[in-house]
Structure 1
Amino acid sequence: MILQNIHSPDDLKALPESELPALASEMRREIIDVVGRNGGHLASNLGVVELSIALHRVFSSPHDAIVWDVSHQCYPHKLLTGRLENFYTLREKDGISGFTRITESPHDFFDAGHASSSISSALGLLSAWQQTGKDGKVIAVIGDGALTGGMAFEGLSHAGQLAKNLIVIVNDNQMSISRNVGSLSRYLSRLTMTDAYQSFRYKFDRAVDYIPYINRHIGKLIYRLKRGLKGMFLTNNLFVDLGFEYVGPLNGHNIEQLERVLRKAAKIPRPVVIHVVTKKGRGYSPAENNPSAFHGVGPFNTSDGVVEKFDALSFTEAFSSKIVSLAEENPKIAAVTAAMSKGTGLDAFSRRFPRRFYDVGIAEEHAITFAGGLAAGGMVPVAAIYSTFMQRSFDQIVEDIALPSRHAVLVMDRAGAVPSDGETHQGIFDISMLLPVPNMCIMSVASRVDLDLCLDWAVSCAKGPVAIRWPKMSCPSELASFAAPVEAGRGLFVGAEEFAPAVSARFADESELNGAKNKKVLFVCTGGMFSECLVASRSLLLGGIWADIYSLRFIKPFDEEYFVKLASSYDAVVFVEDGILTGGIGRNLESVLLRSPYAPKIKTAATGFPDRFLHNGNRMQILEEAGLDPDTIAALARTLTEN
């Protein structure tokens, strides 16, 4: 195998061109096999194999920097930079990340898991290198979907102003904005990278720049004259207008052509945009035919592309069904997402109500302000965005949703522990982010029935903004308490008699027989931690400690008086949340109890995610690392009752 002999980009440079197609095939097979076992981003990585080969043959990483956006398309880059031996650990605990990670390799310059940032990062890196005398090149690789994010255009605008010799490769994989990119491509000039053209362009720019400015008013006229002259003699486009040279579209699977253009681009002392057209899923027909389904995929059968499916209903699927049902009854409901219709469960809504569905692209800030505009116009927008990406729209939530108290529903999927995607995708900051925001209502659901009731209330009964969060996991088995009517500020009390009737009955009989007063514990948890608290409660019951659960249906507003009265009959209260402990709800509620008249008799503890970023792993591994697994939660409760 050729791939086994590639330990660094230097080995790749030494290969004859005749062996490159075979290398590309081997890389695709390795990616398909590993993603088939571990899950991951498949279609996008299969599409950039040849581009990755060309980049590493032309440039000298890490002397030159290749910045990937979004870096979920970096698997071929990892294979070419010495990580084949450990590639089988992709997205596993203590294994290789599914994104670029600076602690993993000197060839990875940024921890990049959110879109549209590569141009800004690359421009800053290049500027620093030039300030410190380093002569390396910096190349930003950005997908057409990431160009829907406003930050990408901010970076392009600044790069054009600075006139740094940044290279931006626009990977047009005919997804996300394929129609827009396609029509734009027909409009964009097919500029060449020949020395003759560049020489003419340089001399023409110098000649135009010699036209003097007389005064402020004539200066404006001269500026327009310059642009007019350039428009007459040079074929411009959006990128050229921003100060870039442009070439393309190029065949992103033709290594020879890519290398030739990249070598010429590296010699130009100006910012360059290279427009490359690739095919998502190339080389694997199931992914080619359905690239959306193989964007981020769980384990699948590589022979036929059948994705592993579990019988249990996920929270995402439960939301998908419920929002369609609500929209059938209420024509004012509109759905908004940021390029995540399938991931958030809105794909069914988009098919059923295409006129009320808005996919704004990878532009979370715009999505929230747009939702605020919909609400101002009398619609009821439901904006579904992953918790980790909702962070990007904090200012818009404050200014355009909360401040005017717009009736908008912000749905946060992937709240809490997120399996396999590593530090950039953990949904652990939304509670502490939204808790201080005035007018904001925050809800946390524990089951499918609970989700249905909360969404009903948020759409039909709430007056201002409501955020609802749930984890990436299957819904737990239903309990009767989950169907309790929604009361603002109050959660769901689930007693041991309900979730462990046999154990609790035996427990009560033994207590009466022995005449002893057993310790009582109340677990107060966010909905995403209900399952773990349930296991911990059963463990305590078996050990002679009574344990009930209070699931925080409402994180804000919160009925403190009701809660204090409920907690007063317990010896210990343990707060468990699937959010960052700092600034979260647990310590906030712990202080409520400490200020109450019952403070001397009730021992309390709060646990949540620690003040650090969490790596790859499945859900249980992430919870164990954070001390949020059932055994650790139960042990914490036992410690309180023993002291």
Structure 2
Amino acid sequence: MTNPPNTPLLDTVRSPSDLKQIDDKQLPQLADELRAEMIDAVSHTGGHLGAGLGVVELTVAIHKVFDTPHDRLIFDVGHQCYPHKILTGRRDRIRTLRQENGLSGFTKRSESEYDDFGAGHSSTSISAGLGMAVASQLQNKPRHVVSVIGDGAMSAGMAFEALNNAGALDARLIVILNDNDMSIAPPTGAMSAYLARMASGRTYMGFRDFGKKLTAYLGKNIDRAITRAVEHARGYVTGGTMFEELGFYHIGPIDGHNLDHLLPVLRNVRDNGDGPVLIHVVTQKGKGYGPAEAAADKYHGVSKFDVITGTQAKAKPNAPSYTAVFGETLVQEGGYDDKIVAISAAMPSGTGVDKFAKVFPERTFDVGIAEQHAVTFAAGMATEGLKPFCAIYSTFLQRGYDQVVHDVAIQKLPVRFPIDRAGFVGADGATHAGSFDTTYLACLPGFVVMAAADEAELKHMVRTAVAYDEGPLSFRYPRGEGVGVDMPERGQILEIGKGRVMREGSKVALISFGTRLAECLVAAEDLDAAGLSTTVADARFAKPLDHELIRQLARHHEVLITIEEGSVGGFGSHVLQFLATEGLLDGGLKVRSMVLPDIFMDHASPDVMYARAGLDRKGIVDTVFRALGTENPAGAAVTLLKP
């Protein structure tokens, strides 16, 4: 453990109003102290490190220049919001980041008046900011609205939809493009800063407006031609032609770590001009912390780490992670079948696709933060006989749902959807929980929907997906390590729509869909010990259901419990629909469906979250006793979360 950093200037800042009392010349010292505080805090909690380090000076400059929270500030995604949280009255809680009952790892409206818009997914900031800017105009409440968006988030179509709309509406919106990969253009030192100050100043903007008024007298066509010629010429110098074409006034690129460059530009933009403006700043991920600068990808999201060495603390896993099993199995199957292709939406390492990319780079495609495009791109490949695996987190696949319906399901195209981060994900909380994919996919005609109960089952499901070519298919699996089962040399091809019985009993039937199977098996031991003979089955498929298995369980047991790591409307709902249609509820069968509670649950460890949801060993046992109308002799009934 290291000693807390020495931060005498930062200690005087409890809110942005205190920041405004600090002289500009002292702000670099404040930025250094803020960076040190953030590094120390994240070393204790883990979290998103690199992005926040890259926007320290920018965050200081924005809160110095603008009147937050009256002026609105929206951070895209929220990965970079830790410095913002420290400056806006939450420093005393910053070492609770992503911990149970602690600060969220993202911006969250209910947490602070300075968090104007909640964000865990990317590319929403310009749309939200434009909505706020237009609302301010309509209500005659003058304020500045600032949207900070990274160049990675600009790869999403939604960002360009918002830019296009903002240019047409001509509302006063300030977009700051945080280019932290220099993927658009690097700043060119003093000359770039000079041009940015000139372009954002009253003289140039006033001359520009006067020129527009003058050319207007010459007729609309001449006005448009002259204006476009001037902006094109300036765009060639500053690199902003694309944004000018969308209707934005473009400034930059400027050095996002140089407060002498940032402050005058932000003040000029604050005090001059109207309509939408885009400021292009270039920053470095991990700025100011050597290990993060050297390996930005490894320090984007971190576990607890040693500040001196940068070494991250990771518990030695007892079993391989589900993500690793998927990636390695896809590589194995890719060696047998050259039609397999892998697609990721800016998450190659998070989904395990990076393993496939190392072996088959020509068959791997990272399309950026563009889930809609990823799905339809995969659909196009499927029409030509390839076998696309479109690997997207459960929560992010929501962004491409219309494409799943219209471009894949309706056309019965064999796109395979490996769905990572199914169920609760712990510290990332509600924005990243994989709660809804079973519900929103199993309702689609012709879709095969699977869930792996353990890492060996995941291997079987990858091979099954390769072999299945009759339509779309998905298989879900959680974040983290498997349960430690023996792994086959190669996966088996599963029979579509067939589950398996893991243990047999006569009174209670537990049928699991997904990785709650391990909890069902230990709950069954408790039930047997209480005199309730229990069967446990692994459904494997939510669609098509194993009708024969469900019939047998319903006819030969008094209680039938379905258990899944998803929302209402998923596996359990399909089982209940089948039982009702078949008349299997008429004989007094006691059925209960255990699902995630109908709330957005705040971050905690996954074990705590599942216990709160009643989807652990105790919750399953208590549910059985409640279905029978008796108390659990081993303890009081669990209190399930209510909406």
* TM-score, structure 1 normalization: 0.90
Q: Does 1:59 align with 2:66?
A: yes
Percent of counterpart pairs with the same letter? Answer: 39
Q: Does 1:342 align with 2:343?
A: no
Asked whether the equivalents of residues 139 and 167 of structure 1 are also in contact (C-alpha less than 8 Å), the reply is: yes
Q: Does 1:227 align with 2:228?
A: yes
Select the residue among 551, 556, 579 that pairs with 1:593.
Answer: 579
TM-fit CA distance, 1:232 = 5.9
Q: Does 1:257 align with 2:265?
A: no
Q: 1:421 to 1:240 in 2, by over 3 A?
A: same
**How far apart, in 1, do the equivalents of 2:597 and 2:511 lie?**
18
Name the SS for the 1:301 alignment partner.
coil
TM-fit CA distance, 1:429 = 0.9
Name the SS for the 1:134 alignment partner.
coil
**How far apart, in 2, do the equivalents of 1:380 and 1:485 lie?**
16
Select the residue among 290, 294, 302 that pairs with 2:299.
Answer: 294
Query: Which position in structure 1 is the counterpart of 2:513?
Result: 526
Which has the larger displacement, 49-58 or 432-441?
A: 432-441
Name the SS for the 1:239 alignment partner.
helix
Q: Does 1:19 align with 2:6?
A: no
Q: 1:345 to 1:400 in 2, by over 3 A?
A: same
TM-fit CA distance, 1:206 = 2.1
Query: Which position in structure 2 is the counterpart of 1:514?
Result: none
**How far apart, in 2, do the equivalents of 1:534 and 1:304 lie?**
43
Q: 1:567 to 1:49 in 2, by over 3 A?
A: same
Which residue identity is paired with 1:310?
Answer: K
Q: Does 1:490 align with 2:498?
A: yes
Query: Which position in structure 2 is the counterpart of 1:123?
Result: 130
Select the residue among 272, 275, 278 that pairs with 2:280.
Answer: 275
Which has the larger displacement, 460-469 or 200-209?
A: 200-209
**How far apart, in 1, do the equivalents of 2:410 and 2:382 lie?**
13
Alignment of 1:30-49 (within 5 A): 30-49=37-56
Q: 1:339 to 1:483 in 2, by over 3 A?
A: closer
Asked whether the equivalents of residues 231 and 241 of structure 2 are also in contact (C-alpha less than 8 Å), the reply is: no
Which residue identity is paired with 1:490?
Answer: K
Name the SS for the 1:169 alignment partner.
strand
Q: 1:340 to 1:99 in 2, by over 3 A?
A: same
**How far apart, in 2, do the equivalents of 1:183 and 1:13 lie?**
28
Asked whether the equivalents of residues 416 and 528 of structure 1 are also in contact (C-alpha less than 8 Å), the reply is: no
Which residue identity is paired with 1:593?
Answer: L
Q: Does 1:448 align with 2:449?
A: no
Asked whether the equivalents of residues 114 and 424 of structure 1 are also in contact (C-alpha less than 8 Å), the reply is: yes
Which has the larger displacement, 398-407 or 362-371?
A: 398-407
- Give deviations 1:168-212, integer Å, cap 9, x for gaps: 0000111xxx44555999999955223222122112222333343
Name the SS for the 1:580 alignment partner.
coil
Query: Which position in structure 2 is the counterpart of 1:151?
Result: 158
TM-fit CA distance, 1:48 = 0.6
* TM-score, structure 2 normalization: 0.90
**How far apart, in 2, do the equivalents of 1:415 and 1:408 lie?**
19
Q: 1:209 to 1:14 in 2, by over 3 A?
A: same
Provide structure 2 residue ranges, at least 5 long, that are not aligned to the other structure. 1-6, 631-643
CA RMSD of aligned residues (A): 2.6
Asked whether the equivalents of residues 444 and 554 of structure 1 are also in contact (C-alpha less than 8 Å), the reply is: yes
Alignment of 1:275-424 (within 5 A): 275-307=280-312, 308-311=314-317, 312-424=319-431
Q: 1:544 to 1:150 in 2, by over 3 A?
A: same
Select the residue among 165, 171, 181 that pairs with 1:164.
Answer: 171
Asked whether the equivalents of residues 109 and 115 of structure 2 are also in contact (C-alpha less than 8 Å), the reply is: yes
Select the residue among 94, 105, 108 that pairs with 1:98.
Answer: 105
Query: Which position in structure 2 is the counterpart of 1:568?
Result: 555
Name the SS for the 2:470 alignment partner.
coil
Asked whether the equivalents of residues 193 and 261 of structure 2 are also in contact (C-alpha less than 8 Å), the reply is: no
Q: Does 1:544 align with 2:545?
A: no
Query: Which position in structure 2 is the counterpart of 1:509?
Result: none
Select the residue among 63, 68, 78 that pairs with 2:75.
Answer: 68
Q: 1:610 to 1:211 in 2, by over 3 A?
A: farther
Which has the larger displacement, 583-592 or 274-283?
A: 583-592
Query: Which position in structure 2 is the counterpart of 1:503?
Result: none
Provide structure 1 residue ranges, at least 5 long, that are not aligned to the other structure. 214-218, 497-517
Which residue identity is paired with 2:558?
Answer: D
**How far apart, in 1, do the equivalents of 2:173 and 2:507 lie?**
64
- Give deviations 1:83-108, integer Å, cap 9, x for gaps: 01111111112211001111000001
TM-fit CA distance, 1:477 = 2.7
**How far apart, in 2, do the equivalents of 1:531 and 1:562 lie?**
19
Q: Give the total of aligned pairs.
A: 612
Query: Which position in structure 2 is the counterpart of 1:615?
Result: 602
**How far apart, in 1, do the equivalents of 2:491 and 2:359 lie?**
28
Asked whether the equivalents of residues 68 and 114 of structure 2 are also in contact (C-alpha less than 8 Å), the reply is: yes
Which residue identity is paired with 1:55?
Answer: I
Q: 1:3 to 1:327 in 2, by over 3 A?
A: same
TM-fit CA distance, 1:23 = 2.4
Query: Which position in structure 2 is the counterpart of 1:606?
Result: 593
Name the SS for the 1:421 alignment partner.
helix
Asked whether the equivalents of residues 189 and 237 of structure 1 are also in contact (C-alpha less than 8 Å), the reply is: no
- Give deviations 1:418-465, integer Å, cap 9, x for gaps: 111122111101111112111211110011211111110111233211
